[in-house]
Amino acid sequence: MKPNPPLTGDGEPAGARRRSRSGNMPTAAPVPIKSQRVTDLLQFLVVLVVLSILLQSVMLAMSFITSTPASSADSKAPTSPDLGWTEWVEVVACSQSCGGGVRKVERERNCTSAGCGSEYGLLKEKKTKEISCNTDPCSGPIDGGWGPWTCTNGTIEQTCSDPPPAHGGKPCQEPVARIQAANRTGFTCAQDDEVHTAYKISASALTKPACESWCTSMGAEIPSVLTQEENEETQRYNSKSGWMWLAATKSGTEQSSYKWDGGEEWKWPTEEGWTPRWHNDNGNIAGWKCLIVNKNLHWGDEPCTRTNSYCLCRV
């Protein structure tokens, strides 16, 4: 009989142990599944924290870029929109006496205070607004009334606007003591808005009595010339470039014996310091009592029945 092989310390035959080691090597023990899941969760939380920090950083940078820096004006006290304004003042009266009209008021301010919005010196503003007025119903018709004569582009005008007819009221009637609108055709004026002086020259020559009648029929008069400015103004309307009548008559043979037809005092020489130039020395002819003036501003005396002088009317 063969002897039994010696046993190893663990009770296995020695040969068998060697065969076992010369075959498959022993493997490492597997990691528990629970430990692996904890590790993955920790890694995921770290990624979330990093992403959150990055997102907050981006948002902070964007807010810094898009934010507007505070201006110097923002640091000042707030301005008051009503500071420095004057009280409202009426500039156009109510357009109607009843039944509802409109009036216009305005106010302004001149300020140098930052409290009313002035940062760079003087601030000037003006505001205008329209306000309803006379809203009570009218008790009856309103008859029209003539407004003031006005000068527009050299033409005399008068409108039925003070007040305008309303609620079945009568239109304006022809003025009695004023120049009628139809007869003012042909008068020209030099200053817009208010009428100060307007003139009209005749189409043909007239005697002085005929000239007076023609002017009177239109509510006008032959002009008196008291200053150098008036002398030049009358000649602006002398479209005929000839002699024209002036409203003066003399009682004697001297130039100093003239008297203005309108009653103004005749001063010779004038206090204003100008002296009309006389065309000739006809003062010694007693029958030549009426005053004429030429386009070149020369004056002269002629018989009042002279028929080669034009007529200039003034209103």
Q: Which domains does the chain have, with CATH numbers?
A: 89-133 (no CATH), 141-196 (2.20.100), 197-314 (3.10.100.10)
pLDDT band at 17 (very low <50, low <70, confident <90, very high): very low
Q: Is 292 exposed, middle or buried (0-12, 13-18, 19+ CB in 10 A)?
A: buried
pLDDT at position 98 is 77
Number of helical H runs and strand E runs in the chain: 4, 14
Dist CA 301 CA 253 (whole Å): 10
Q: Is the pTM of this model over 0.75?
A: no
What are the Cα distances from residue 282, in Å, to 252, 255, 294, 306? 12, 9, 15, 14
CA diameter of the chain:
201
pLDDT at position 59 is 76
Give the residue-averaged pLDDT of 139-152.
80
Instruction: Name residues whose C-beta falls within 8 Å of residue 311's C-beta, 6 or more positions apart in sequence.
Output: 201, 202, 205, 206, 210, 211, 214, 215, 222, 244, 245
SS3 state of residue 50: helix
Whether 244 shows a pLDDT value over 90: the answer reads yes
The pair phi, psi for residue 134, each rounded to 5°, is: 45, 55
For 93-115, how does the pLDDT look when each residue is reduced to its tens digit (9 = 90+)? 998 877 788 999 999 887 777 77
